[in-house]
Amino acid sequence: MQKMTDGNDSGTKIKICGLRRREDILAVNEAKPDYCGFIIEFPSSFRSVTADEVRELVKELDPEIRPVGVFVNAPMELVRTLLDDGTLALAQLHGQEDESYIRELKIYTDKLIIKAFSIKTAEDIEKALQSPADYILLDQGGGGTGKTFDWSLIPEIQRSFFLAGGIGASNLGQAIREIHPYAVDLSSSVETEKRKDPMKIRQVVDIVREIKIIN
């Protein structure tokens, strides 16, 4: 099955993760990040939404913004359904999904798959680089914690990766210039009192776009 692609546009991409309210959709529609993420059917996260809720939210999403479903050890049928019905453009796997899970999922969909990895050692990086996913995401831990990991562990990587974990307006430029990720992934840093803050979202998207122009 031929895989879909995200194109070859130059410049770092940005993903705003953890959307859960209509107000969040309006905020990203205004700021226009490249991707937005929805944490789906993971009740232990306050950002979690149901499959039906994400379907309704995506209906109002600017079509230029690509919706990403974030799943944690979810039944494959749930992931496949939301990809196949057009609700999601990409799936991000943030649990203990192994290579066989990813390979099987890729048999049934031409949508792109992101696999998240918690980075604590150089060995974790090496493991991530072997993933059959289309993209890897390097994170501090469980996601949405607002904490960074040791970026010096990241070597010159020859495959596209998302960088997450503690990235915000204060260190976004440094992350892009020093680490050169395909995309940066932000969540807690664009929140105020656990709700997405439209001004903070616009600020970080503007920072990324300005770096694109400079580069």
- Beta-carbon contacts of 125 under 8 Å, excluding residues fewer than 6 positions away, are 117, 119, 138, 153, 154, 155, 157
Catalytic residue list: 17, 139
What is the distance between the alpha carbons of residues 146 and 66, in angstroms, rounded to a whole number? 23
Q: Which two structure tokens, joined as six digits, stand for 11?
A: 């410049």
